[in-house]
Amino acid sequence: MAAHLSQTLVTPAGFSGWLGRLRPVAAKRVGLALGLWGEAGVGKSWTARRLLGETACKGFSLHATAPLAELAGLASALSKPGRLPLWAQRVLERLTRGEFAEASQVADALGALLAALAPVIVHLEDLHEAEAQRLELVGMLAQRAGRTRGVALLVTSRMQPPQPFEAVRLEPLEPEASRALLENEVGASLPEEATRWIYARARGNPLFTLEYLRYLARQGFLWNDRTRWHWRTPTQDLIPLTVEALLERQILEVPGSAAVRKAFEARAILPPEASEELWARVAGLGPADLEEARARLLEQGILRGSDFAHPLFREVRRGTLRPERKQALARRALEALAGDPEAAAGFVEEAGLEPEQAKEWLLQAAQSAKRRGNEVQAARFVARAVEYAQGEERGRLALEAARILRSADLPRAVKLLELVLRSRSDDVEATYLLAELLAHKGQQAEVERVLQTLPESLRQGSAWLLRLIHLKAILDDHAGVVELWERHPQLHPQAKADTVALVSDAMLALGQFEQSQTWIDAVLMRPNLTNFERAKLQVNLARAKFFLGQFEPSLALVEAALSSLRQYEAPRDIALALHRKGIILHYSARFAEALGAFQEAYEVFSNLGDGRWCAILKNHMAASLLQLNQDQVAEDYHLEALEYLRRLDASDFLGSVLNSLAWLYSSRGTPLSTQLGLKYAREACALAETLKSPRAKINAKIQMIYALIYAGRPAEGLAAAEESIAQLRQGNYPQLLGMYLDARAEALERLGQPERALQDLREAYSIADRIGDLLMLEWVGVKIDWLTGNLSGVSMRLERARSRGWASLEQWILREFPQLAQPAPAPQAPLTGVSPLAVLGSMLLGGKPIRGQKRKELLALLVEARIAGRLEVGTLELLEALYPGLPETEAANLLKQAVFQARTHLGQGVIATTPGGYALGSLETDAELFLKTGDTRLWRGGFLEDASGDRDEAVRGALYQALAGRVRSLLEPEPHEAVRLGQILLSAEPYDSEILALTLRALRQEGNRLGLSRLYQEARERMKEVGEALPEDWQGFLEHHPA
């Protein structure tokens, strides 16, 4: 995909105005001398070429340093050579032969030539590379062009063109235009984090923007999995080699005196906000010399004002400085900043000082930061000083910094504490601090290991118990927190506000809402509470009121708490309050605002290096994105959170992610997605059993009920709902009770009991109205309108969903009531006389093999999309999958041919054209029939076994999971069929021990002892190749893999 194709869709600001200036030239009403200038890569040449292309007259583009013979050669474009005066012809002929002519004669002759060519635009590129003599000539030619109707001289330059040119500076792209450029280049949407990251470095320079895109894609930070683009943030700042080479060349081309070089080097080592006085002192220049040097750097397009035209100039120039030169400049900066130790600290490492000197500079900076009240910045300076300290002082400084950084920079604090304990293993404070930080990272086993290093005498008493409560709370051991608190009432009077807040949180997690609120209210009555402690407790109280269904008071409390917390240097507490605010906003159906709060909290935890909380917030962001109908991004976020949290010990948060995924897949309603929904719901229920948390069990069970109903098992869903509703009526869980009533109504309606369903829905509606759950109110209201035949009521709710931006609810209503959508084009007529497309084995249509590898690969991609519930496969995705590495135009032609050939040989309706690409036509696949009916006779072999290319693992995995379930059910009634299917599964998943066990049981049930032993021995050999040893006989293997 060539860059020039994409850039045609991103027009620079001011373009229409410049084009408007050229149109009178084309009409031979005026003459014009226009100069476009700006930094390298800002789009000058491209803009000039586009101006030439969109102006209705002749246009020529030459380099500004081109030989005069090339300029004279424009005479060949004259339709009537006789229009050129004879004297001008003679001068041009001399120029063509390379003979000398006076500058004024050349300018007059070229001016006459342009007048004869009028209307005409001549573009001279890279005027900054021209020498003085050529600049003089171009200036004279500009004067003549400006006075000649129908002639425009257009120049591009990195420096401001001289008079008489009308100079126009091209500005970098704004963030939105930069995003448009990137997305036009790839032909698809990109993750917002990626476009923000690129903009922060390229700063809107179009060339740099595209080079960053290509570089990040090559390095694997930005990739496409054939469905959408994904992003992984680089661990360090990167500069593409192409950009670095371009900037280095421009830097090397800067002419001038020693003063220019000194000013350039000093500016590179100083931060952007450095004053001119500091710049002069570090450069070692007087005011006049500095001003002259700056003027030269401004002319070259290196500077803009007093700083670099682009921040990458600083990085590249700094990187090209010799170490000894960098050291000398840094020492000069230290000397100049002796009265500002914090600013001076930025040069300590590069100054190459003796350890004692470096340490003193950094400790002075820390003292300065403390005097300003910035404890975190002071701690960062102390942490840097640790590298230069020795012995006892090294440990003392590391612990001092870690005390503060534990709430601002988790990874740094952990490293500092580990450093302390390497030299002072008996340091109790460092041990407790390290255990706390490891708990924040979710590393329970590491926490226990660290605590075991403490002597027995310290692992008892009230102080020890209070610390255990604190650590258990961080690790989400809610039951453990409440158990310790209730078992030791002697702790209650002496407990600090923070401890009570942790106990309150644990009680909320266990569903003890009133007890939680009682404890918070009691602590808020204490007269000696600080404003900071009060604000943190308000967040807890807001959480309690939220669970009691009091959304508005809850939001008011958390807003007040945030207002207070922002006055302190407490990023973690601010982020936790933002997290709570986001949840309240989400359940108040203010999804865009909720997403904003979650994103702000995510940024804070990212800066703190807290991966656990980042994963938690990704899950919450996904929930809001799902309601805003961005379900593909939401799915990515959920899966990203799941991948991280799986690596930690089991927690409520992992359960939340599993519940979210269960709902996401179940609610899609396709045969494949309902299987995935059941998978995640089962896992969530199993996890909840280990957590000893009633609330975790309730949350997991509701998702299991929905998963069963959507998977076509409403009777099982109803039975589970009946039991839970009876329990919920005994407690105070209004929101959860409403959800369970809705689920039971769904099951009853599917079982043909609409009257009972309506009764439950009306009760759920009343609960949603009472607690202010607006989304649940509309969700349940639609179902009530549906069952009572009130289509106009559904239509009104659809309009409300649209007006409030509830895209997910809008889409759900339109799926259930398609008659309310805008009229759609008539669907294609179904295929007649065509049997299902067989993909459970080799690919067949109408019982005949499908020929052609590309044809099979194309159909395989469309089949997978259909089964996954996707409406289409985008053209770009197909091009990348089928024809990787080919130019886009060539690949697009091949794709069109492949579609045409498939329709010709298999039938016109096999492949349908969609707005964004293609989809499988109006025929069903045997895979879909299997998911609907469970008929195992459809399986002839592995899924798409003769189609090449990568397969969609989610689709493949769900099909094989469903098949394994059917094999289990056939073990007794049809063991022979179970054996056949087991062997298909084993061929697809040869290293899966559960599938091996299932197939062995089928053979045992069939009574095929010989086949059983042979299959097991083959499996043993196969497993040995990958380093896994199986028991000697199949009996021993099955003992370790019970059914």
Query: Per-residue pLDDT tens for 769-804?
Result: 887 777 788 889 889 988 888 888 888 888 888 877
* Residues above pLDDT 90, as percent of the chain: 30
Residue 922 to residue 929: CA distance in whole angstroms: 14
Residue 780 to residue 771: CA distance in whole angstroms: 14
pLDDT exceeds cutoff 90 at 620: yes
Amino acid (one-letter) located at 153: L
Is residue 936 within 8 Å of 930, Cβ to Cβ? yes
Section 939-968 average pLDDT: 85
Residues of the chain within CATH 1.25.40.10 domain(s) are 356-447, 462-608
Cα separations in angstroms, 405 against 377, 399, 420: 9, 10, 14
Q: What was the pLDDT predicted at 1012?
A: 83
User: Taking the mean position of all CA atoms in its chain, how far away is CA 700?
Assistant: 28
Q: What was the pLDDT predicted at 122?
A: 95
Confidence of residue 649 (pLDDT cuts 50, 70, 90): low
Residue 329, token pair as written in the block:
């400049």
Q: What was the pLDDT predicted at 235?
A: 67
Q: What was the pLDDT predicted at 732?
A: 64
Using alpha carbons, select from 311, 314, 388 the residue that is nearest to residue 345: 388
Pairing of strands 32-37, 166-169: parallel
pLDDT exceeds cutoff 70 at 133: yes
Q: What was the pLDDT predicted at 569?
A: 76
Q: 635: buried, middle or exposed (CB in 10 Å: 19+, 13-18, 0-12)?
A: buried
Residue 847, token pair as written in the block:
């019982």
Cα separations in angstroms, 669 against 584, 656, 710, 712, 719: 28, 21, 6, 10, 21
Q: What was the pLDDT predicted at 11?
A: 66
Query: Per-residue pLDDT tens for 813-861?
Result: 887 777 776 543 333 333 333 457 899 998 998 888 898 888 899 999 9
Confidence of residue 238 (pLDDT cuts 50, 70, 90): confident
pLDDT exceeds cutoff 80 at 115: yes
- The helix-helix angle for 888-906 and 853-867 (nearest 10°) equals 90
DSSP state for residue 788 in the 8-state scheme:
T
Give the number of C-alpha atoms closer than 13 A to the C-alpha of residue 208, restricted to the C-beta side.
26
Is residue 195 within 8 Å of 182, Cβ to Cβ? yes
Give me the DSSP letters along 455-493. Answer: -GGGSSHHHHHHHHHHHHHHTT-HHHHHHHHHH-GGGTT
Query: Per-residue pLDDT tens for 657-710?
Result: 999 999 888 888 777 788 888 999 999 998 888 876 677 888 899 999 999 998
Q: What was the pLDDT predicted at 834?
A: 40
Give the number of C-alpha atoms closer than 13 A to the C-alpha of residue 951, restricted to the C-beta side.
20
Q: 131: buried, middle or exposed (CB in 10 Å: 19+, 13-18, 0-12)?
A: exposed
CATH of domain 3-169: 3.40.50.300
Say which residue the tokens 């933002």 belong to: 578
Amino acid (one-letter) located at 564: S
Residue 998 to residue 88: CA distance in whole angstroms: 95
Tally of CB atoms within 10 A around 703: 26
User: Taking the mean position of all CA atoms in its chain, how far away is CA 484?
Assistant: 41
Is the model more confident about 412 or about 440? Answer: 412
Q: Return the sign of the alpha-carbon dihedral for residues 301, 305, 306, 311.
A: negative
Residue 53 to residue 59: CA distance in whole angstroms: 8
pLDDT exceeds cutoff 60 at 994: yes
Give the number of C-alpha atoms closer than 13 A to the C-alpha of residue 922, restricted to the C-beta side.
10
Planar angle of CA 1023, 1025, 1026, nearest 5 degrees = 70
DSSP state for residue 582 in the 8-state scheme:
H
Residue 125, token pair as written in the block:
């590129």
Give the number of C-alpha atoms closer than 13 A to the C-alpha of residue 909, restricted to the C-beta side.
14
Alpha helices in 692-753 (DSSP H): 694-710, 714-728, 734-750
Confidence of residue 917 (pLDDT cuts 50, 70, 90): confident
Amino acid (one-letter) located at 1027: G
Section 95-118 average pLDDT: 90
CATH of domain 462-608: 1.25.40.10
Query: Per-residue pLDDT tens for 655-671?
Result: 889 999 998 888 887 77
Domain 953-1039 has CATH 1.10.8: no
Return phi, psi of residue 53, to 5°: -70, -25
Q: What was the pLDDT predicted at 395?
A: 92
Confidence of residue 226 (pLDDT cuts 50, 70, 90): low
Is residue 920 within 8 Å of 839, Cβ to Cβ? no
Section 734-738 average pLDDT: 83
Residue 598 to residue 343: CA distance in whole angstroms: 34
Tally of CB atoms within 10 A around 638: 27
Confidence of residue 15 (pLDDT cuts 50, 70, 90): confident
Amino acid (one-letter) located at 842: S
Confidence of residue 2 (pLDDT cuts 50, 70, 90): very low
Query: Per-residue pLDDT tens for 442-496?
Result: 778 888 899 999 888 888 888 899 899 989 888 878 888 999 999 999 988 878 8
3-state secondary structure string, 273-321?
CCCHHHHHHHHCCCHHHHHHHHHHHHHCCCEECCEECCHHHHHHHHHHC
Residue-wise burial string across 945-981, b where 16 or more C-beta atoms lie within 10 A, e elsewhere? ebbeeebbebbbbbbbebbbebbeebbeebbebbbbb
Confidence of residue 7 (pLDDT cuts 50, 70, 90): very low
Q: What was the pLDDT predicted at 599?
A: 93
Residue 982 to residue 986: CA distance in whole angstroms: 6
Residue 629 to residue 815: CA distance in whole angstroms: 13
Using alpha carbons, select from 711, 712, 741 the residue that is nearest to residue 724: 741
Residue 680 to residue 663: CA distance in whole angstroms: 9
Planar angle of CA 11, 15, 19, nearest 5 degrees = 130
Confidence of residue 18 (pLDDT cuts 50, 70, 90): confident
DSSP state for residue 840 in the 8-state scheme:
B
Residue 416, token pair as written in the block:
């500092």
Domain 837-938 has CATH 1.10.10.10: yes
Residue 335 to residue 330: CA distance in whole angstroms: 9
Q: 97: buried, middle or exposed (CB in 10 Å: 19+, 13-18, 0-12)?
A: exposed
Section 18-31 average pLDDT: 88
Query: Per-residue pLDDT tens for 373-420?
Result: 788 899 999 999 999 999 889 999 999 999 988 877 878 999 999 999
User: Taking the mean position of all CA atoms in its chain, how far away is CA 400?
Assistant: 36
Is residue 376 within 8 Å of 408, Cβ to Cβ? yes
Residue 985, token pair as written in the block:
């599964």
Is the model more confident about 581 or about 233? Answer: 581
Q: What was the pLDDT predicted at 343?
A: 93
pLDDT exceeds cutoff 60 at 712: yes
Q: What was the pLDDT predicted at 10?
A: 60
User: Taking the mean position of all CA atoms in its chain, how far away is CA 297?
Assistant: 38
Residue 298, token pair as written in the block:
């401004």
Planar angle of CA 266, 271, 274, nearest 5 degrees = 80
- State whether residue 45 is helix, strand or coil: helix
Residue 789 to residue 787: CA distance in whole angstroms: 6
Query: Per-residue pLDDT tens for 528-581?
Result: 888 888 898 899 888 888 877 788 888 999 999 999 999 887 888 999 999 999
Tally of CB atoms within 10 A around 651: 22
The mean pLDDT of the chain is 86
Q: What was the pLDDT predicted at 3?
A: 37
Residue 954 to residue 639: CA distance in whole angstroms: 12
Return phi, psi of residue 832, to 5°: -110, 140
Residue 27 to residue 37: CA distance in whole angstroms: 26
Residue 890 to residue 893: CA distance in whole angstroms: 5
Residue 207 to residue 182: CA distance in whole angstroms: 11
Element (H, E) at 167: strand 166-169
Q: Comparing 8-22, 27-41, 818-832, which segment has the lowest mean pLDDT?
A: 818-832
- State whether residue 838 is helix, strand or coil: strand
Residue 1019 to residue 1034: CA distance in whole angstroms: 10
Cα separations in angstroms, 370 against 64, 378, 380, 381, 396: 58, 6, 11, 10, 17
Is residue 55 within 8 Å of 23, Cβ to Cβ? yes
Pairing of strands 837-838, 844-845: antiparallel
* Residues above pLDDT 70, as percent of the chain: 95
- State whether residue 431 is helix, strand or coil: helix
Using alpha carbons, select from 730, 641, 740 the residue that is nearest to residue 699: 740
Residue 259 to residue 873: CA distance in whole angstroms: 60
CATH of domain 356-447: 1.25.40.10
Q: What was the pLDDT predicted at 9?
A: 42
Query: Per-residue pLDDT tens for 995-1041?
Result: 999 998 988 888 877 778 888 888 888 877 666 788 888 888 888 87
Query: Per-residue pLDDT tens for 739-758?
Result: 999 999 999 999 999 899 99
pLDDT exceeds cutoff 70 at 882: yes
User: Taking the mean position of all CA atoms in its chain, how far away is CA 15?
Assistant: 32
Q: What was the pLDDT predicted at 82?
A: 62
